[in-house]
Amino acid sequence: MGLPPRFAYLALPALRLELARQRRPSLAGRPVALWEARGNRAVLVACSPEAREAGVAPGMSRPEARALCHPLEILPLDPPAELAALEALAGEALALSPLVSLDVPLGLFVEAASSAHLFGGESGLLAALRTLAAGRGHLARAAVSDGPRLARLVALHRRGEGIVVPPGQGARAVAGLPLPVLGLGDELLRRLGVLGLATLGDLARLPLATLPRRFGDEGVALARLARGDDPFVPPAFVPGGLIAEALELEAPLDTLEPVLFALKRLLDRVELRLRARGAATTRLGVRLGLDDGTAHEAEVPLAYPFRAAGSLLRIARARLQQDQLTAPVVRVAVTVLEEAPLRESSADLFRRGGSHEEGVAELVARLGAALGGDAVFAVQPRDVHRPEEAFEKIPYSLVTRHSGESRNPGSTSVRGTVEPERPLLLLDPPEPASWAGDQLRWRGRSWQVEAFAGPERLQGEWWRPDALDRDYYTLELDEGQRLWLFEDPNGAFHVHGVFE
């Protein structure tokens, strides 16, 4: 028989109240209760410590609670927000373990056996999980045991923030817990009570052979759990959809720097979720909710698949600095509008700092954000002979860019062989010049020609009025410049390019 599966459980006992206060920061320190509909009644299901001090408790009706605590703020539950919060946290937890499962609305199951060694043991994994929750403003407790449901019982009902139950000790860890923690129906709980059973330890001592007749399959399964037998495997969480994060600010902000501080918190979360997916982003959306009820939206295109929060923040800053906010900011949200596979250089865990390509791409993205998306571009070769038309502008992308260069056979010159290249800088239009022997006249002054290569004849496009017919030369001048010059059919010379 193999070892029982080791699972961690991350419990979020105050998640519902935390989400309510994150949506409305003004509720901090005030008595708050949440309700849900049960039949034709509205019943309280969660109360803040301030409300409990006034005598408010789950199970009460709203009028009963208001009679005890007049300033009580009573809000409805928000199940979609609870699910979204757990999915976001699960997306980050996938960076710590290959199997994470939602347990709405209480917490997360996390498979521990395959990844605990990466954190120095199971205690380290629990600490990492609690750190993730704290980063989202959630109070958390965590435990690990021989099975997911055992870990959940320990995390939710035993004292301690990070409890490691040794292998084989699951039954002992839950023996003292009262039976209601199992979520039993009233009838089953009554029948167990008639037998004098009050704890999981009492249930574990019952002979298994007698349970099917007396309590059915449910009683057998619960007794096995009380004995430490927890074969349950929770369904794996599979992240999907757009990654989105948001933060309600405690007070309106009228300058960009503190807004960027809040944005960095969100981008840290985005990085973790992208890391869990093994992905990066090539397009980011930032939405700033303003105090006057409007919103300012900015799209941040990226020239390279990024996921590092620091890089994303620098690029987003350059984009946002171009805009004028019309009112103070009260909410910050960020959405990954486009995911892309992570390039190999970005995925290298042993590389310190980014690659050269990443650095160039970040610079291009920041320039594009500051100057406009069309201001920075790459060029792509076209299969034509005319040099000034032999390329086209394309969006800059290191993922799709073409490499390589075209070279032509060289010819002898007065001082040896110079291979004719294509210059990076083309002059538009070509500038008139005169050349005879070792003297070049260009831009109002004379230049000494030290060497030249050519001619390289370019001909074609006979159907055009300005059919191509040029002899190109590469000239080296005495001051170190290298020019690309051509002679037209009329014998006139023109400087067409400058080599770097």
Domain assignment of residue 61, yes or no = no
| Domain-embedded: residue 38 | no
Q: Are both 88 and 177 inside the same structural domain? A: yes
Q: Is residue 160 within 8 Å of residue 144, measured between CB atoms? A: no
What was the pLDDT predicted at 151?
97
Same domain, 349 and 434: no
Domain C-terminal end among 371, 387, 420? 371
Q: How far is CA 139 from CA 77, 125, 216, 278, 325, in A?
A: 18, 17, 38, 28, 34
User: Looking at the domain assignment, is residue 376 inside a domain?
Assistant: no
Question: According to the model, what pLDDT value does residue 215 have?
Answer: 84
pLDDT, position 356: 60
396 lies in a domain? no
Instruction: State phi, psi for 110 to the nearest 5 degrees.
Output: -135, 120
Q: Are residues 364 and 270 in the same domain?
A: yes
Specify whether the CB–CB gap between 182 and 192 falls below 8 A: no
Residue type, 172: R
Does residue 59 lie in a domain region? no
Alpha-carbon gap, residue 134 to 111, rounded angstroms: 20
| In a shared domain, residues 284 and 222 | no
Q: For residue 113, what are the domain limits? A: 7-13+81-226
- Kindly state whether residues 209 and 303 are assigned to the same domain: no
- 217 and 257 both lie in a single domain: no
The whole-number pLDDT of residue 450 equals 93
Residue ranges in 163-232 assigned as alpha helix (H): 170-174, 186-194, 200-204, 211-226
In a domain, 114, yes or no: yes
Domain contains 44 = no
Classify residue 424 by burial, with Cβ atoms within 10 Å: 0-12, 13-18, 19+: exposed
Last residue of a domain, one of 180, 197, 226: 226
CATH code, 213: 3.30.70.270
Residues 350 and 425 in one domain: no
Distance, CA of 408 to CA of 427 (rounded, Å): 21
Tell the burial category of 486 from Cβ atoms under 10 Å away from its Cβ (0-12, 13-18, 19+): buried
Q: What is the pTM of this model?
A: 0.66
Closest CA to 156 of 8, 337, 297, 331: 8
Tell me how many domains the chain contains: 3
- Residue 248: give its domain's CATH number: 3.30.1490.100
State whether 268 and 361 are in the same domain.
yes
Per-residue pLDDT of the chain (500 residues; tens, 9 = 90+): 456 789 999 999 999 999 999 989 899 999 999 999 988 899 999 999 999 999 999 999 999 999 999 999 999 999 999 999 999 999 999 989 999 999 999 999 999 999 999 999 999 999 999 999 999 999 999 999 999 999 999 999 999 889 999 999 999 999 999 999 998 888 888 988 888 999 999 999 998 888 888 888 888 899 999 999 998 989 999 888 889 999 999 899 999 999 999 999 999 999 989 988 889 998 899 999 999 999 999 988 887 788 999 989 988 988 888 888 899 999 999 999 999 887 655 444 334 445 566 677 677 777 777 776 667 777 777 888 888 888 887 766 544 444 433 333 333 344 444 445 788 889 989 999 999 999 999 999 999 999 998 899 998 888 888 889 999 999 999 888 999 999 999 999 999 999 97
269 and 361 share one domain: yes
**Last residue in a domain, options 182, 197, 226:** 226
Same domain, 85 and 212: yes
What is the CA angle 296-336-333, rounded to 5?
35
pLDDT value of position 354: 52
Asked, for residue 22, whether it belongs to a domain, the answer is no
Is residue 270 domain-shared with residue 221, that is, in the same domain? Answer: no
- Sequence-ordered list of residues with C-beta below 8 angstroms from that of 335, at least 6 positions apart, any chain: 242, 243, 244, 245, 284, 285, 287
Q: Are residues 166 and 212 in the same domain?
A: yes
